[in-house]
Chain A
Amino acid sequence: MKQFIEAVQKKLNTQFTQDRRKFLKVTGIVGAGFTLATLMPDHLAATESEETVASNELNAFVSVSSDGKITIYSANAEMGQGIKTALPMIIAEEMGARWQDVEVIQSPINQHKFGRQSVGGSTTIPRTWNQMREMGASAREMFLSAGALIMELPISELKAADSMISHGSGRFMTFGQLATLAAKQTVPDPKSLKFKDRDDYTILGSAISGVDNLALTTGLAMFGIDTQLPGMLYAIYHKCPAIGGRVISANLDEVKATPGIIDAFVVKGNNNVRELLDGVAIVGTNTHAVFKAKQALLVKWDESEASKDNWDELAERGSSLHGTRGSDVVINKGNVKSIFDDPKNTTLAAFYEYPFVAHLCMEPMNCTANYIKGNHGSKDQLEIWVPHQFPERSRSVLQSMFGVKTDQIKFHQMRLGGSFGRRVYSEYICEVCEISKRVGAPVKLTWTREDDIHHDFFRTGGFQSVKGAINPEGKLVGFEDHYIGTQINGQPVSGSRFSDTEFPLQNIDNVYASKTMLDIRTPCGPWRAPGSNTTAFVTQSFLHELAVAGNRDFVEFMLEILGAPRWFEKGNIRSLNTGRAAEVIKLAARQSGWGRSMPEGSGLGMAFYFCHAAHIAEVAHVSVDSNKKLTVHKVIVAVDVGPIINMSGATSQVVGAVIDGLSTMMAQKITMQEGRIQQSNFHDYEVLRMPNAPEVDVHFIQSDYAPTGLGEPALPPLAPAVGNAIYAATGHRVRKMPISEEGYSF
Chain B
Amino acid sequence: MALYNLTINDVKTQLEVEPDMPLLWALRDILGLVGTKYGCGIALCGACTVHVNDKPMRACTVRVSDLVGKSVRTIEGLATSTTLHPLQQAWIAADVPQCGYCQSGQIMAAAALLKSNPNPSDADIDSAMAGNYCRCGTYNRIRSAIHSAAKAARLSYDATQRDVGQERKV
Contact = CB atoms under 8 A, between A and B. Distances in A.
Contact of B75 (A79, A219, A653, A660): A219
Contacts of A34: 11
Given A37-B76, A219-B36, A288-B18, 20 more contacts: A5-B93, A8-B92, A31-B166, A32-B166, A37-B33, A38-B32, A81-B98, A213-B95, A216-B104, A217-B84, A217-B97, A218-B75, A219-B33, A219-B75, A228-B32, A286-B25, A417-B99, A652-B136, A690-B125, A691-B130
A207 B37 CA distance: 28
A150 interface: no
Nearest to B84: A9
Nearest to B73: A35
Interface string A668-693: 00000000000001110001111101
Contact of B130 (A82, A289, A360, A690): A690
Nearest to A20: B81
Contact of B100 (A9, A415, A660): A415
Interface stretch (A267-275, A342-350, A361-369, A607-615): A361-369
Interface of B: 1, 9-11, 18, 20-22, 25, 28-42, 44-45, 47, 74-79, 81-84, 87-89, 91-93, 95-104, 107, 125-127, 129-143, 163-164, 166-168, 170
Contact of A288 (B21, B40, B47, B74): B21
27 contacts: A5-B89, A35-B9, A38-B31, A209-B93, A213-B92, A213-B95, A216-B104, A217-B97, A218-B88, A219-B33, A225-B38, A228-B32, A288-B25, A362-B39, A362-B136, A364-B38, A416-B99, A418-B135, A419-B99, A448-B41, A652-B95, A652-B136, A656-B98, A656-B136, A657-B137, A659-B139, A693-B139
Nearest to A260: B18
Contacts of B129: 689-690
A574 B112 CA distance: 47
Contact of A681 (B42, B79, B88, B135): B42
Contacts of A260: 18
Given A216-B100, A219-B34, A33 B79 contact: no
Closest 9 CB pairs of A and B: A219-B35, A659-B137, A80-B99, A417-B101, A33-B163, A219-B75, A80-B98, A216-B100, A682-B44
A194 interface: no
A192 to B, nearest CB: 36
A655 B98 CA distance: 11
A33 B34 CA distance: 17
Nearest to A691: B126
B137 A656 contact: yes
Interface residues of A, number: 89
A660 B37 contact: no
A285 B29 CA distance: 9
Given A41-B34, A449-B40, A213 B97 contact: yes
A510 interface: no
B140 A696 contact: yes
A635 to B, nearest CB: 11
Contacts of B76: 35-38, 218-219
Given A32-B163, A417-B99, A682-B45, A217 B34 contact: no
Contacts of B133: 362, 682, 687, 689
Given A35-B77, A35-B81, A687-B133, A210 B29 contact: no
A362 B37 contact: yes
A683 B126 CA distance: 20
Contacts of A289: 18
Contact of A9 (B11, B18, B83, B126): B83
A658 interface: yes
A221 B28 CA distance: 10
A439 B152 CA distance: 52
Interface in A134-168: none
Interface in A339-398: 360-364
